[in-house]
Amino acid sequence: MLEHENYLKRAIELAKLGLGNVSPNPMVGSVVVHQDKIIGEGYHQKYGKAHAEVNAIQQVLENFTNAEELLKNSTLYVTLEPCSHFGKTPPCADLIIKHQIPQVVIGCLDPFESVNGKGVEKLKAAGINVITGVLEEECIDLNKRFFTRVKQQRPYVILKWAQTEDGYFCPADGDQKWITGEEAKRLVHLWRSQEDCVLVGKNTALIDNPQLNVRLVKGRDPKRAVIDRNLDLPKNLNLFDNSLNTFVFNATKTDLENKTTYIGIEDFDHFLPQYILFQLYLQDVQSLIIEGGIKTLQTFIDAGLWDEARIFTGDVNWGEGKKAPHIKGNTTEKYPIGKDKLTIIKPLNS
């Protein structure tokens, strides 16, 4: 079993290379092993393109003249159950059967209804020895975004904010004032490149005039979202520059104007976080970062609709101002980012 775990660990490493590029698909990695040697590797690189198993098998076919014979005596390792249905690409289970790979080791099953257990059944029906549940927790955590979307019909929600040593979020007058250093800013831009959408409230949009894009690192820009109940925000803000797809959650208008989608929500006073997350789910948004402000963050916290909080604590004390959101959970990680500290908190019931 330890041998299986070592190869699955490599497959997990490969899968992570797809972060930010495969949503709303899961990240998947795969390796082909022949006589204790990896002869093929692959991962799902881009949404709509070849899956991990296809790329791993293809590498074997390209690199070995006796590839077909090698595959018939190999084990294929994959972090997620091979698909058994026609989607953007043909079923991976069929490809494995075609090449007569005798053994497949799977990290975790795919919760998606069209796959869930059916890939394993198809492989077993073809006489392939299938082993499941190797590094299962790690493989589920790898695709926490995908699992949340499929099982809960909402995006995976990441809360992000910065606060002072003495717990303040912003000055009492609400003006913009930086708390963290350059290292933290770069890390936030990296996070944006890895997730599907970034959400802010009206006051944050008005005071900070954020672009909510990726500038300090290389990577793809997320979609943007803002809560503006009465459509009070001026159109000259960066959010409305039509450089990125932007959702505006409001109480009066449902329309599409260039790259700005206005989504009307009838009842803003009840279940607002639930409505927002469901609408984003319908837009194939698999993960969401909420970057402020205090009211928006606290609304999602109070609704219990968050999966992870990433809190920077700056090396400053203000003595006064508006207090940071109040959150309860389990601290899972804590480490320095430049002169600042980053704390990762997960919900108590996770």
Q: How confident is residue 88, by pLDDT bands cut at 50, 70 and 90? A: low
pLDDT score, position 75: 98
pLDDT-above-90 percentage for the chain: 91
pLDDT score, position 84: 81
Q: Is 269 annotated as a binding residue?
A: no
253 and 270 assigned to the same domain: yes
**Residue with tokens 């991962």, as numbered in its chain:** 43
139 and 178 assigned to the same domain: no
pLDDT score, position 280: 98
Q: Flag whether the pTM goes above 0.85.
A: yes
pLDDT score, position 2: 77
214 and 278 assigned to the same domain: yes
Q: Give mean pLDDT, residues 330-347.
A: 97
pLDDT score, position 1: 65
**Among 148, 179, 209, residue at a domain's last position:** 148
pLDDT tens-digit readout, 53-79: 999 999 999 999 999 999 999 999 999
128 and 169 assigned to the same domain: no
Range of the domain at 108: 1-148
Q: Is 83 annotated as a binding residue?
A: yes
Q: How confident is residue 90, by pLDDT bands cut at 50, 70 and 90? A: confident
Q: Is 99 annotated as a binding residue?
A: no
SS3 per residue for the chain: CHHHHHHHHHHHHHHHCCCCCCCCCCCCEEEEEECCEEEEEEECCCCCCCCHHHHHHHHHHHHCCCHHHHHCCCEEEEEECCCCCCCCCCCHHHHHHHCCCCEEEEEECCCCCCCCCHHHHHHHHCCCEEEECCCHHHHHHHCHHHHHHHHHCCCEEEEEEEECCCCEEECCCCCCCCCCCHHHHHHHHHHHHHCCEEEEEHHHHHHHCCCCCCCCCCCCCCEEEEECCCCCCCCCCHHHCCCCCEEEEECCCCEEECCEEEEECCCCCCCHHHHHHHHHHHCCCCEEEECCCHHHHHHHHHCCCCCEEEEEECCCCCCCCEECCCCCCEEEEEEEECCEEEEEEECCCC
Q: How many domains does the chain have?
A: 2
72 and 129 assigned to the same domain: yes
78 and 211 assigned to the same domain: no
Residue 195 confidence (pLDDT) above 90: yes
Tokens of 103: 């053994």
Q: How confident is residue 85, by pLDDT bands cut at 50, 70 and 90? A: low
pLDDT score, position 145: 98
296 and 164 assigned to the same domain: yes
| CATH code: domain of residue 204 | 3.40.430.10
Q: Is 212 annotated as a binding residue?
A: yes
Q: Is 4 annotated as a binding residue?
A: no
Residues 6+ away with beta carbon under 8 Å from 279: 247, 249, 263, 265
pLDDT tens-digit readout, 98-149: 999 999 999 999 988 777 789 999 999 999 999 999 999 999 999 999 999 9
| CATH code: domain of residue 79 | 3.40.140.10
135 and 160 assigned to the same domain: no
Residues 6+ away with beta carbon under 8 Å from 333: 342, 343, 344
161 and 309 assigned to the same domain: yes
pLDDT-above-70 percentage for the chain: 98
**Among 100, 123, 148, residue at a domain's last position:** 148
Task: State the catalytic residues.
Answer: 53
- 261, 246 contact by CB (below 8 A): yes
212 and 138 assigned to the same domain: no
**Among 102, 121, 148, residue at a domain's last position:** 148
pLDDT score, position 221: 97
Q: How confident is residue 239, by pLDDT bands cut at 50, 70 and 90? A: very high
